[in-house]
Amino acid sequence: MATSNDLLIKQRSVIEFLAVEGCSAANIHARMKTIYGEMCISDCAVRKWVRIFKGEDPRETILRDRKRLGRPLSASVTAHREKVDCMVRANRGVKQKEIADEVGFLKERVHHIVTTVLGYRKVSARWVQIQFTVEMKAQRKDMCTQLSER
């Protein structure tokens, strides 16, 4: 099954072809509605794309969405995640406000990184990983067997 983005690009290609042929936007939408059914884009979107395609050379038309302006999501960059992880590992009692001041993010964004991305939670005012890795489970098993042998 095609993704929604692929379906949009296909529909834009159909709109481009029929617009260059000279069909009206209402006619294009009606024809597409019979083929795509509920997955068809709206009449307003068809009209917008017809206006775009009639004003451009078909060989130079870009069907994919252009990159949007705005600040990139820097909080999801791996380097920032690693820096936050190092801070938490160095001091398990570090506060979110201290991390936010050090890294330069909002406290809410730091909370998202620490809890959702890195998988920590607060237990007795210390950050603890929620799930154990395979190595951690093996270490625990070894420690328990050593203690039981004593």
Tens digits of pLDDT across the chain (150 residues): 466 778 888 888 888 888 888 888 999 999 999 988 888 888 998 988 888 887 765 556 565 666 666 665 555 567 788 888 888 889 888 998 998 898 888 888 888 888 888 888 887 778 787 767 788 888 889 999 999 998
The backbone torsions φ and ψ at residue 62, rounded to the nearest 5 degrees and listed phi first, read -105, 120
Run of H or E including 126? strand 126-129
Question: 125 in a domain, yes or no?
Answer: yes
- C-alpha 82/C-alpha 113 separation (Å) is 10
Query: Which amino acid does the sequence have at 68?
Result: R
Same domain, 89 and 130: yes
Same domain, 136 and 86: yes
Same domain, 49 and 81: no
Long-range contacts of residues 114-118, Cβ cutoff 8 Å, at least 24 apart: 114/84, 114/88, 117/76, 117/81, 118/81, 118/84, 118/85, 118/88
**Residue 53, strand partner residues:** none
Specify the pLDDT at position 27.
92
Same domain, 84 and 130: yes
Question: 148 in a domain, yes or no?
Answer: no
Whether 11 and 40 have beta carbons less than 8 Å apart is answered as yes
Long-range contacts of residues 102-108, Cβ cutoff 8 Å, at least 24 apart: 105/75, 105/80
3-state secondary structure of 42: coil
Q: Which domain holds residue 131?
A: 74-142
Specify the pLDDT at position 1.
47
Specify the pLDDT at position 110.
87
Same domain, 138 and 87: yes
Tell whether pTM > 0.85: no
Considering Cα of 41, then 45, then 51, then 56, what sign does the dihedral take? Answer: negative
